[in-house]
Amino acid sequence: NAGVTQTPKFRVLKTGQSMTLLCAQDMNHEYMYWYRQDPGMGLRLIHYSVGEGTTAKGEVPDGYNVSRLKKQNFLLGLESAAPSQTSVYFCASIAGGPTDTQYFGPGTRLTVL
Amino acid sequence: ELKVEQNPLFLSMQEGKNYTIYCNYSTTSDRLYWYRQDPGKSLESLFVLLSNGAVKQEGRLMASLDTKARLSTLHITAAVHDLSATYFCAVDKAAGNKLTFGGGTRVLVKP
């Protein structure tokens, strides 16, 4: 099993450009999440999904959109990138049982100039 | 709004000594997690604590949970250099298994 994978690993954007980050998991997990991590801080939840075809807002959703058309994939979109979106983005998934833990992808380092 | 606070933010340890990291959270929750993050890397799950009085141990790390005090501790016994990392606690509410993270404790173990 590859676990949780993220594409791309690094990206540099100019202000106003758009991009999509792809998260894929091969563990048949129902729940998927997108977090951002800023220097010296913990992770903050952007959006999440409790199953195929569903999405919901997290703590810091502004400027981002998501889609979960397939159970194994969760896409994070930036329509018009801003320097404030410079961050490391982590995807995670969990099966949802009471003793389960979230499995995290390797992260995408995004810089917006 | 659920808030999670960790202290200290930074911990300089001497090898062989014992230390504790504290995690306080503001409202009742269903589960508490501890993660480890090495520089430039992803998060690795250490422990999941489910109920009051829960204690879990793995090697030199031991985590405990007091739900009445809304406090979890991560105890490090006889610190070694390999334990240098940032440690995060996180708390979730059952609906959606959404995690709220503490700010992290950066641990540096000096020889």
Q: What is the mean pLDDT of chain A?
A: 94
Q: Is B87 on the interface with A (CB under 8 A)?
A: no
Q: Is B97 on the interface with A (CB under 8 A)?
A: yes
Reading phi first (left if > 0) and then psi (alpha if -120 to 50, else beta), residue B28 is in beta
Put simply, the answer to whether A50 touches B96 (Cβ < 8 Å) is yes
Whether A43 and B109 have beta carbons less than 8 Å apart is answered as: no
pLDDT at A84: 96
The Cα of B89 is separated from the nearest Cα of chain A by a number of Å equal to: 9
Selected for mutation to probe chain B from A31, A101, A104, A109 (highest B CB count within 10 Å) is A101
Put simply, the answer to whether A107 touches B42 (Cβ < 8 Å) is yes
> Residue B105 above 70 pLDDT?
yes
Q: Of A13, A40, A38, A54, whose CA–CA distance to A107 is shortest?
A: A38
B49 or B52, which is more confident: B49
The Cα of A44 is separated from the nearest Cα of chain B by a number of Å equal to: 7
Put simply, the answer to whether A42 touches B45 (Cβ < 8 Å) is no
pLDDT at A113: 97
Distances (CA, A) of A2 to A6, A11, A60: 11, 22, 28
Confidence band of B8 (pLDDT split at 50, 70, 90)? very high
Strand partners for B98: B93
d(CA A28, CA B111): 43
d(CA B94, CA A31): 12
> Residue B102 above 90 pLDDT?
yes
Q: Give the 3-state secondary structure of residue B27.
A: coil
Residue in this structure with the two tokens 């099993």, named with its chain if needed: A1
